[in-house]
Structure 1
């Protein structure tokens, strides 16, 4: 139930079976174990001890995965940092984690040089190349040859000890470090492998960033299932299926926004020239599930999990229900409550609260943030911040993030439901809905939309389209048109960026248009 334990067991059981393919790097299970133990040795001889935090800031590359696992090998704690982190957020992550060592790509070093000095950060290693003089001590660290370099014996680690600290985006405050124990990765691997029926014959392909829980947990699935793990280049809709085909993947990982982007591209010969049967694809628009399978031959599998939790909800490939995340899985307990913490009736939306019966399957808290930890684990239930509804038959429907709920005219509006309605419009390819402040100081509904090629959007017609499908108070007042929606490094729509633009970026104001029409 630890990262070293899973690596060692996989190497003992299938030493010569392929485990990792990453660009030009191809490793068997035994070679992977040797590489990780070599990195663990290198960290140890350079003074890294059990419990030390080691920050790693890099785009996807073999060294990034090696250093994360190498830390776990010797009982140190890896702190993978989102490559988009800048300024105050980057300073917060490095300062809060008290990382003594930062391992970084040279192209990202300038962002560290731009922040105030950190007392705990005493060493910086450059993964790839030399850099110009800096006020931080730095040195280029070549990756060791696993054949020539002495290897470290893994320390005895308990499943509840921290393996990785993953920092949240900080959209509702400073970034919080989610302390992920070794056991959490074990349960991610075991749960998803069982839920999705992954076998040793499968090839798991991801192009998601390794500083995010999704890609890291996919590696755990490969370890548990005996499957192969392939890391591809950063997501590009134009080459995605070609990349997947070259990998020989049978299973891949998508986010809802990626599904919408792939669906919006013209059909081509690459659409089915691959061997992928299914994709884990949380937050997929329900309307795309069947068309996606018909066009690409891939079953989209929804589910629910988060950095703090595990694979809580799932359904088999055969029983997917578009618009639902699945059922609560064995090993977990869920409640849905109102704002007073009282359980709501089946089918009614409320906040999702979770507990685990699997030891160390959840994060142990937020690093050096006891108040935030107590608030999130209030009454020993993890408060997810997600509004869901559990039907009488146990199927769970996502409603919205609580922080994304729009409050207008005394009514709660689900941004997800408005987005789903807008995506049904024949001229709209994608949409993101969020709250902006009105002249009266309350929320107004704004939609950022991507118009399908070759079409011109009639805003009044869009409002008329929404009228029979949405409550009157949920129809967007503001609409802005975009070539594409802004994305985070994790492949999700950045509503933070859209909120910052605000109503001043709108191409249409329904109230202003109505006043103009009446004046005319």
Structure 2
């Protein structure tokens, strides 16, 4: 089948939605990536599956690359169930390594390319990878890892190994591909990836994502977005997060082309969408606001994009976005642990909310004792899947956290939510103090640990303040040790290289005393409610740039 056939000719002979046919085509035992790739390669052949820069992979080539990549892992002594840590930007090699792991039955551990120091050390300690695959520009990040952390004995580098001269690593070039390995004896419940999601009261947790969970991400997302066979799915989101990764599954399961851009650019987004003739896009949080902030042009609606994911986009953005660009934004809700469990209509009937519960999912709103609450009353959202292995199976190496989150056989989201009488769900806030900035989850605990390590800091509280673009900005209230002095910019410089750039506070407030509860805990709610006070320093107003 040619690329033109893939994008134009197949719809005429198919009546049922592509996602519905995929569910029938892949019964429960076959919901593993090796079977999906092999079967879709037979169906679509030379139809283009991946576009990334100058790289084009057909469906047949992608299956062959997965098998060949698996063989390089076998040759390196990697066995099914072992972890392969991967720090790489949006490029084909990321998918090459991921597909090889999935084909063999090894577990890929994607690492956010911004992580350094404490956060990176924790992931390596927790996941204990047998192999590290790193894009050359990020090799130096491993110099910030704690000295006692044991690094894998094998490191493959994507790019020039010469850039590793000053690091603790001794990398070899990413092996060239040759013959393919047979598919491993993989089951739908086997973990295919460990994706780290920021903790709220502790270090990041590694979410164990089974093969079938990614299958259902592809099905549920395609259903919510109305994806059809032959669509061109266009993403600028990072592959080390769930969204861009599951968009690949949306493509391969539904006979689409997956277009992967290096990163989001507000000024270049629409030009890229036109160049690729994209039909489905993916926007989160502030991205839609940034696009609307660009100068209007005559070409604003000169594209083929008919729908875009709009999870977390502020409600007031939806209508202007549709009016200007002609693209409805789809509300939705999901998490790394769950799936695409809520979705709005196209266009949204209540912009900026969660939408309606997806088929195949059960949900409840409960109080602190897990007792059900009536419609209209806010409580914690709990979820469970009706399909086997459609949700994550737990947190890697953290059995107590797994039991806590999945207690009473429901996954506890940590989100305060209201269910309206007509079945519509509305997000209120987080039960605990996580922060969402520019599409990234920020662990207040991790930032507090970093700032508290400064010798002049006696206490620190990290909390969110509203951003002009939607989502949050990171704020820090700091109590100094007696006799010590510190400028807010010193806090920024102290954080650089120790935590991700997006987690470094924008707002810093040096306080003479922390607001405390009766049992001596810092009242972060009081700090949030105070907002940007007269004594709050704003690094953007001060013109201070964060060094990445």
User: Which range, TM-score by smaller chain?
Assistant: 0.7 to 0.9
Aligned equivalents of 2:477, 2:148: Cα separation in 1: 37
Aligned equivalents of 1:431, 1:48: Cα separation in 2: 41
Per-residue deviation, residues 379-437 of structure 1 (Å, max 9, x unmatched): 1110101111110000111111122499xxxxxxxx99x95xxx9xxxx6657477876
Are residues 319 and 208 of structure 1, via their aligned partners in 2, closer, same or farther at CA, if it must alter by over 3 Å? closer
Q: How big is the alpha-carbon RMSD for the aligned residues of Structure 1 and Structure 2?
A: 2.8
SS of residue matched to 2:504: helix
- Aligned match of 2:83: 53
Cα pair 2:478 2:509 within 8 Å, conserved: no
Aligned equivalents of 2:159, 2:412: Cα separation in 1: 41
Aligned equivalents of 1:499, 1:332: Cα separation in 2: 38
Are residues 8 and 316 of structure 1, via their aligned partners in 2, closer, same or farther at CA, if it must alter by over 3 Å? farther
SS of residue matched to 1:103: strand
- Aligned match of 1:509: 533
Cα pair 2:331 2:343 within 8 Å, conserved: yes
Query: Which residue among 163, 167, 171 is the counterpart of 2:196?
Result: 167
Per-residue deviation, residues 130-151 of structure 1 (Å, max 9, x unmatched): 224444332112442xxxx111
Query: Which residue among 178, 181, 202 is the counterpart of 1:152?
Result: 181
Cα pair 2:475 2:508 within 8 Å, conserved: no
Give 1:266 deviation, angstroms: 1.8
Query: Which residue among 108, 113, 119 is the counterpart of 1:83?
Result: 113
- Aligned match of 1:225: 254
Per-residue deviation, residues 476-518 of structure 1 (Å, max 9, x unmatched): xxxxxxxxxxxxx99xx95x53477246799963799xxxxxx
- Aligned match of 2:122: 92
Query: Which residue among 255, 266, 277 is the counterpart of 2:306?
Result: 277
Aligned equivalents of 2:50, 2:332: Cα separation in 1: 25
Cα pair 2:474 2:507 within 8 Å, conserved: no
TM-score under structure 1 normalisation? Answer: 0.79
Are residues 33 and 433 of structure 1, via their aligned partners in 2, closer, same or farther at CA, if it must alter by over 3 Å? closer
Query: Which residue among 25, 41, 44 is the counterpart of 1:11?
Result: 41
- Aligned match of 1:122: 153
SS of residue matched to 1:501: strand
Give 1:313 deviation, angstroms: 0.6
- Aligned match of 2:404: 375
Per-residue deviation, residues 212-252 of structure 1 (Å, max 9, x unmatched): 00000000100111111000121111111111111111001
TM-score under structure 2 normalisation? Answer: 0.75
Q: How does 1:442-481 map to 2 (within 5 A)?
A: none
1:286 corresponds to 2:292: no
1:316 corresponds to 2:345: yes
SS of residue matched to 1:259: helix
Query: Which residue among 255, 259, 283 is the counterpart of 2:288?
Result: 259
Cα pair 1:63 1:143 within 8 Å, conserved: no
SS of residue matched to 1:293: helix
Gaps of 5+ in 2: 1-30, 436-462, 480-498, 512-526, 537-548
Aligned equivalents of 2:179, 2:469: Cα separation in 1: 54
Aligned equivalents of 1:117, 1:390: Cα separation in 2: 48
Q: How does 1:132-147 map to 2 (within 5 A)?
A: 132-133=164-165, 134-144=167-177
Aligned equivalents of 2:113, 2:426: Cα separation in 1: 32
Gaps of 5+ in 1: 407-414, 440-488, 513-520
- Aligned match of 1:350: 379
- Aligned match of 2:324: 295
Give 1:330 deviation, angstroms: 1.2
- Aligned match of 1:467: none
Are residues 368 and 219 of structure 1, via their aligned partners in 2, closer, same or farther at CA, if it must alter by over 3 Å? same
